[in-house]
Structures are given as C-alpha cells and as structure tokens.
C-alpha cells in the first residue's frame, strides 16, 4: 500500500513534466520574430540590427552547439547577467513556462 501512495502522485506528475519539456516550435516562432530577431537575427545567425553592434555578439543559434535545455530556459527567464553571460541578453519573466519551452523548440529549428 505504501508504494501505491508514492506512485500515484508520480503518475499524475508525468504528463505535466512531459508537456513542459515539449515546446511547440510553431508557437515559439511568432514570439521569436517579435522579441528576439532584433538581436539574434531572423535566421538565428546573431546578425539582427541591434545584435550587430553588441559585444559580445548574441549567440548564433544557427551554428548549433546550444547549451542544455535547462540552461537555455534559465537564460531566457532570468537573462544573461544572472547566468554569467552578457547583460545585453534580457530577462523575460513575463513569458509562461510553456512560452519559454516554445521559444527553445523554435531556436533548435534554427540550429539545424
Ligand atoms: C538586446 C539583444 C538581445 C535580445 C533582444 C535577445 N537576446 Fe538572447 N542573447 C543576446 C546576447 C548578447 C547573448 C550572448 C550572451 C553571451 O554570450 O555572453 C544572448 C544569448 C542568448 C542565449 C544563450 C544561448 C546559449 O547557447 O547559451 C539564449 C538561449 C538566448 N539569447 C535567447 C533569446 C531569446 C529567446 C530572445 C527573445 C525572447 C532573446 N534571446 C533576445 C542578446 C539578445
């Protein structure tokens, strides 16, 4: 009986975790185009109109080798400075968790 009491909450949690990790690139794209292109560039090459003049330059997603998902999540949510990166990378506390995962999913399509 004890194990049932433990397993039950885990079973309930699983769909929540699976959903959180599964971002929708199609939903992330409009957010990226509205908020991120100015620095990271439309193709994710880091050559957006503002990105061009920054130092260090925005990460070129198109070159691949992105940080692990959990790190990307923290950087988008808390910003570059809080993660030891450039302060030019803003924090986006206004996005829901799902929106951040959607953005990550979209960024990954640019890395291919
Ligand atoms: C004002 C310019 C600017 C804007 C706008 C901006 N970024 Fe950035 N971003 C940067 C810079 C600069 C870096 C690189 C920081 C460094 O390497 O020190 C960066 C780094 C990142 C990284 C880290 C990549 C890695 O592999 O570690 C992620 C993820 C990221 N940005 C996502 C986003 C998303 C998503 C948006 C839009 C919601 C966005 N950025 C908007 C400037 C910007």
pTM: 0.85
Tell me if 33 sits within 8 A of 112, measured CB to CB.
no
Determine if ligand 1 sits within 6 Å of the CB of residue 89. Answer: yes
pLDDT of residue 3: 63
pLDDT (tens digit, 9 = 90+) per residue, 94-106? 999 999 999 999 9
The domain that holds 92 is classified in CATH as 1.10.760.10
For residues 37-48, average pLDDT: 96
- Domain with 91, as residue range(s), is 2-110
Per residue in 4-24, pLDDT tens? 666 665 555 555 555 556 899
The pLDDT > 70 percentage for the chain reads: 81
Number of domains within the chain: 1
* Cβ 80 under 6 angstroms from ligand 1: yes
DSSP line for the chain: -HHHHHHHHHHHHHHHHHHHH---HHHHHHHHHHHTHHHH-TTSSS--TTGGG-SSPPP-GGG--PPPHHHHHHHHHH-SGGGTS-TTS---TTS-HHHHHHHHHHHHHHT-
Find all residues with CB under 8 Å of 7, minimum gap 6, and list them: none
pLDDT the model gives residue 42 = 96
Ligand 1 center from residue 58 Cα (angstroms): 5
Query: Which of ligand 1's atoms lies nearest the C-alpha of 80?
Result: 15
**How many Å lie between the centroid of ligand 1 and the Cα of residue 21?**
20
Q: Which pLDDT does position 80 carry in this prediction? A: 96
Cα–ligand 1 centroid distance for 37 (angstroms): 10
Look over the chain and give the mean of its residue pLDDT values, rounded to a whole number. Answer: 88
50-92 pLDDT, tens digit each = 999 999 999 899 998 899 999 999 999 999 999 999 999 999 9
| CB contact at 8 A, 62 and 111 | yes
């Amino acid at each position: 009986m004890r194990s049932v009491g433990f397993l039950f909450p885990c079973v309930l949690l699983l769909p929540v975790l699976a959903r959180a990790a599964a971002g929708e690139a199609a939903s992330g794209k409009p957010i990226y185009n509205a908020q991120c292109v100015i620095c990271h560039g439309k193709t994710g090459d880091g050559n957006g109109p503002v990105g061009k003049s920054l130092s260090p330059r925005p990460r070129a997603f198109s070159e691949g080798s992105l940080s692990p998902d959990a790190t990307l999540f923290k950087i988008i949510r808390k910003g570059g400075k809080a993660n030891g990166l450039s302060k030019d990378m803003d924090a986006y506390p206004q996005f829901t968790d799902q929106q951040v995962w959607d953005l990550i999913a979209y960024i990954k399509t640019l890395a291919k």
